[in-house]
């Protein structure tokens, strides 16, 4: 009976995602996939020759967080920067086609829109090629972006900072956003990079992976005991409400002040590709908390959603129907 009650609560929360309004601020990228077959090794060097079948272009980085929130039924806007190039236009057009607002996306001359090109053969990644600009924004672009965020912050339940280290989220910008969000009582969730880690101090939710948590805490995470030590260090130094450490095939661990850590085992049946799984976790967490979920319920929903996307090849998303189906199968 208790299992049935938990299932109904989780299903209700997923349906309530439609009432949530989320702003994602971060590094916008394109994930380009080249799909093909390998039948021989090159005579020029000991590398496979890939015969291309097709190419696909998907939302990456902060744009993938937005896409996850959108497919889960939430209302979402994206704030960031693209280059004055074909890929930047592709992102803008793609977001508009799926119904995501793009008035918070600014085009900067001389900037390269970040693209990660992955060559996939026989369901495996052969190589990844990156093109990007990681310089800080021009002062005029930064001012436009700040003006947009400060003007619209009150319109959203939560802000997600999606930091891929591509130059958008500087320490100054992060601190300014968190300070403003505290004044407006807006929840801030962060998918962090180690470089800026302690600039996120005072955010509501921070979601590092095990490697990032270990590097930031100075604790080598090798087992459950060291994971708990690292979590305790980071909670104290970050002063956040929730620290969620993603642990790959081992699931996730949730830390809150004055509470025992919550260990959430993975529900993935098979892991084909972890690309974008962190985007799914933070996107689902933002929706669940905005819908009124407890920390445990939000973590469980994020875990279910991540378990779905790692079973897909390439940058993937999860929709409401898939998430509800997994909830029913697990209860």
What is the rounded CA–CA span in Å between residue 306 and residue 300? Answer: 10
In a domain, 39, yes or no: no
Q: How many domains does the chain have?
A: 1
Q: What is the pLDDT of residues 160-205, one digit of tens each?
A: 999 999 989 999 999 999 999 999 999 999 999 888 999 999 999 9
In a domain, 51, yes or no: no
> Which range marks the domain in which residue 266 is found?
2-30+59-115+131-330
**CATH code of residue 148:** 3.40.1190.20
Sheet of 252-255: strand order equals 101-108, 75-83, 21-26, 158-162, 187-191, 205-206, 242-246, 252-255, 262-264
In a domain, 40, yes or no: no
Catalytic site residues? Answer: 279
Matching residue, tokens 């992976």: 209
List the chain residues with pLDDT less than 70: 1-4, 268-276, 311-316, 331
Q: What is the pLDDT of residue 315?
A: 56
In a domain, 302, yes or no: yes
Matching residue, tokens 């993975």: 266
Which ranges of the chain would DSSP assign to H, the alpha helix? Answer: 2-16, 62-71, 86-98, 139-152, 171-184, 210-217, 224-238, 277-290, 295-309, 320-330
Using alpha carbons, list the distances in angstroms from residue 224 to 191, 230, 254, 261, 300: 22, 10, 12, 10, 19
In a domain, 283, yes or no: yes
In a domain, 47, yes or no: no
In a domain, 144, yes or no: yes
Q: What is the pLDDT of residue 1?
A: 44
Q: What is the pLDDT of residue 313?
A: 58
What is the rounded CA–CA span in Å between residue 331 and residue 326? Answer: 9
pTM of the predicted model as reported, rounded to 2 decimal places: 0.91
């Amino acid at each position: 009976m208790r299992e049935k009650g938990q299932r109904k609560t989780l299903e209700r929360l997923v349906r309530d995602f439609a009432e949530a309004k989320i702003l994602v601020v971060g590094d916008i990228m394109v994930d380009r996939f080249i799909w093909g077959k390998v039948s021989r090794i090159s005579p020029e060097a000991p590398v496979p020759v890939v015969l291309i079948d097709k190419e696909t272009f998907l939302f990456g980085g902060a744009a993938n967080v937005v896409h996850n929130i959108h497919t889960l039924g939430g209302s979402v806007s994206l704030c960031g920067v693209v280059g004055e190039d074909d890929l930047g236009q592709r992102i803008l057009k793609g977001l508009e086609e799926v119904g995501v607002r793009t008035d918070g996306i600014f085009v900067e001359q001389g900037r390269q829109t970040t693209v990660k090109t992955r060559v996939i053969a026989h369901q495996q990644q052969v190589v990844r090629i990156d093109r990007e600009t990681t310089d800080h924004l021009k002062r005029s672009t930064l001012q436009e972006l700040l003006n947009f965020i400060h003007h619209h912050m009150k319109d959203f339940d939560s802000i997600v900072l999606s930091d891929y280290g591509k130059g958008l989220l500087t320490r100054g910008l992060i601190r300014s956003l968190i300070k403003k969000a505290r004044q407006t009582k807006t929840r801030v969730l962060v998918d962090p990079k180690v470089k800026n880690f302690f600039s996120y101090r005072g955010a509501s939710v921070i979601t590092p992976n095990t490697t990032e948590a270990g590097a930031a805490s100075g604790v080598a995470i090798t087992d459950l005991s060291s994971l708990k030590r690292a979590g305790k260090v980071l909670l104290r130094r970050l002063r956040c409400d929730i620290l969620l450490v993603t642990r790959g095939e081992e699931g996730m661990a949730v830390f809150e002040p004055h509470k025992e850590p919550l260990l959430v085992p993975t529900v993935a049946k098979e892991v084909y590709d972890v690309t974008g799984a962190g985007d799914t976790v933070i996107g689902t967490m933002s929706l669940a908390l905005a819908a009124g979920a407890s920390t445990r319920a939000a973590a469980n929903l994020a875990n279910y959603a991540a378990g779905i996307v790692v079973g897909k090849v390439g940058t993937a998303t999860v929709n409401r129907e898939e998430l509800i189906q997994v909830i029913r199968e697990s209860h």
